[in-house]
Amino acid sequence: MTQIQKGFTLIELLVVIAIIALLLSILLPALRSAKDYARTVVCRSNMKQIGLAAHLYAENYDDYIPRGGGTGTWFQCFLPFVGSERDEVDYRNVKIYRCPNFPPNGYGLDDIPNSEQTVCYVVSSWTFENNEDMTGEEVTEPTKLSTFPNRVLKVYMADNEAGDWRPIIRQEDDPEIMLLDVWHPSHLPESDQEQITYGRRVARDRHRKGANYLFLDWHAEYSSTEDMNINFWRDK
């Protein structure tokens, strides 16, 4: 009696492969979305920890906080308040200074981490004469927190934009370290300018068509680009 061997036919195998391909096409975007969301949460957590460091700094320095770039930048000033002494630890070893969603080559859309950028956030160094002032100017000296009205609505820090016009800061003596602050309307995420001085500095779509922001009451939250405007940066 002849024994009949059972197995899949070619048609059945092709159907199985097609089903697997369909499932992958459905699941992969969801998995990537989940990874992006996880990175967003990590970034926001980083900002909250930086906010705690800023709060402790202000308590120790008569309510003053650091502003713009140059020597004594915020990420150096905060080292003693993130468990490190400035003279003992390289700021590049402080993980909370890096957003896990920052592109690896600075401006590409590859699937992340391992970016060369050592500071993934930009700080506000913006001051205004009054509420009607729509341009403002740069301030680099420390500022007292009491200067800011309604601190829960005032931005202190934001995701750093990535682009070929934006500098990659690899170490603290890089001259471009001066460009890690925000002080002009063209630096905001809605700006289309892409040049070194007046180009966009706040990330436009780092996280879900927006970016994470640290406010001056030291809470961190996401804001879409369309909702972020100059009024959140006013110190008057």
pLDDT digits (tens, 9 = 90+) for 153-170: 999 999 999 999 999 998
Higher pLDDT, 91 or 56: 56
Question: What is the percent of the chain where pLDDT is above 90?
Answer: 61
CB atoms within 10 A of CB 167: 17
Q: CA–CA separation, 46 vs 208, rounded Å?
A: 18
pTM of the model: 0.83
What are the angstrom distances between the C-alpha of 126 and each of 148, 154, 223? 11, 11, 19
pLDDT band at 202 (very low <50, low <70, confident <90, very high): very high
Q: CA–CA separation, 83 vs 93, rounded Å?
A: 11
**179 touches 201 (CB < 8 A):** yes
pLDDT beyond 90 at 136: yes
Q: Which residue has the tokens 């996280």?
A: 207
